[in-house]
Copies of this chain bind each other. A is one copy, B any other.
Amino acid sequence: MPKPFCPPGSEDDILKRLSLHFPDTPETLLIGRGDDCAMLRPGGPLCVSNDLFLEDVHFRRSYFTPEDVGYKALAVNISDLAACGARPQAFTLALGLPDDVDVAWLDAFFAGMADAARPWRMALAGGDLSRSDRLHISVTVWGEAYGAPDEPVFLARGGAMPGDSIFLVGQVGLARVGLAVLEKHGRSAIERWPAACAAHLHPLPQVDAGLMLARAGSNARPPVLMDVSDGLARDLPRLLDRSGRKDGGGLGAALVLPRGQLHPEVSRYAEAHGLDPVEQALLGGEDYALLGACAPDMLPPLHAAIPGFMTIGVVTEEGLTCNNRSLEDVRGFDHFGEARHA
């Protein structure tokens, strides 16, 4: 039976719970946890990323179960690997715990995190624990780049060309609706808005799609790719800005997002609140869909291979429009620039 964890307790107690969910010496590492460092197996180039997941900034305990918190803290990091076409391998976990977190909560948190790690047999390679005023989770992930060690395929953001097709894998706008209804109604919102709440609480990183896009890029100009975390309207310019224009400016895009292509819960929410559903989809936030661009002749096999692959527009020389309306006045969010939950 789990005993209540009453700080000041001991790190050792927590580490024991952790070991129940993550083996100390996972077979995917040469040296597992428990020493000053872990050691990753040699191989080709590794992709790395690091994302914070913070209470009352990225999640609330009032409507995230501990499983949800653990799952999403890792899933948003895995999404960064997916966005480069890498295969997840391992992660580290730095955890700041407030005094009111007990062993039952931690067990469920670790279980949720293990759920996110399992499909790719990711190893927990190390980490650190401390007290904190609020739950503070920092995850760093590693993954193997696609391809031969001396010819890795990295699906970067920059490098799109005018005429390229713009595509999405995954929903946009749905997690935004989930956040709004969870903030208003708490977990009771799940009944009326199951898909939207799931998109916010339990996003699915598009690793398989990323790997298939990397494979498509191994013998042709690779797709450019990113994951949509701050909303399509804010992230699309990031995908296009770094493409090689001689004048130093970014490329443009003409998007077509018919209302019928949006998730029904996005449309239903927008209608109920007198909002434009397409604008809601563009604003988005925490979608964790993949957004990319590729040569048009690459589309047929990608459509065939990747469930949910959706062409949404074309790269242009300049300007940003969606359904012929300028995107200038539609913006996503910035955790620093907006107090989202405040």
Interface residue ranges, A against B (CB under 8 Å): 7-11, 14, 30-31, 34-52, 54, 57-58, 80-81, 83-84, 86, 90, 92-94, 96, 125-134, 136, 138, 140, 142-143, 145, 149-150, 152, 154, 156-157, 225-227, 242, 334-339
- Contact partner, A136, options B127, B132, B150, Cβ 8 Å: B132
Specify which chain B residues have a CB less than 8 angstroms from the CB of A36 in the assembled complex. 49, 80-81, 83-84, 157, 225-227
A8 and B47 contact, CB distance less than 8 A = no
A-B contacts besides A50-B94, A57-B130, 15 pairs, CB < 8 Å: A9-B337, A30-B45, A35-B226, A36-B227, A37-B83, A38-B49, A40-B142, A49-B92, A50-B93, A50-B140, A52-B130, A54-B96, A94-B94, A128-B138, A131-B336
Closest to A82 in B: B36
What are 17 residue pairs bridging A and B, where the CB atoms are less than 8 Å apart in the complex?
A: A8-B337, A31-B154, A36-B80, A37-B143, A39-B48, A40-B46, A40-B142, A42-B43, A42-B45, A42-B150, A42-B152, A49-B92, A50-B138, A51-B128, A54-B130, A57-B131, A94-B94
Specify which chain B residues have a CB less than 8 angstroms from the CB of A140 in the assembled complex. 50, 92, 94, 140
B35 and A156 contact, CB distance less than 8 A = yes
Question: In the complex, what distance in Å separates the CA atom of A57 from the CA atom of B136?
Answer: 14
Query: Beyond A10-B337, A138-B94, is A48–B43 a contact (Cβ under 8 Å)?
Result: no
Question: In the complex, what distance in Å separates the CA atom of A86 from the CA atom of B142?
Answer: 18
Copies of this protein in the complex: 2
- Contact partner, A46, options B9, B46, B145, B338, Cβ 8 Å: B46
A7 and B336 contact, CB distance less than 8 A = yes
A8 and B336 contact, CB distance less than 8 A = yes
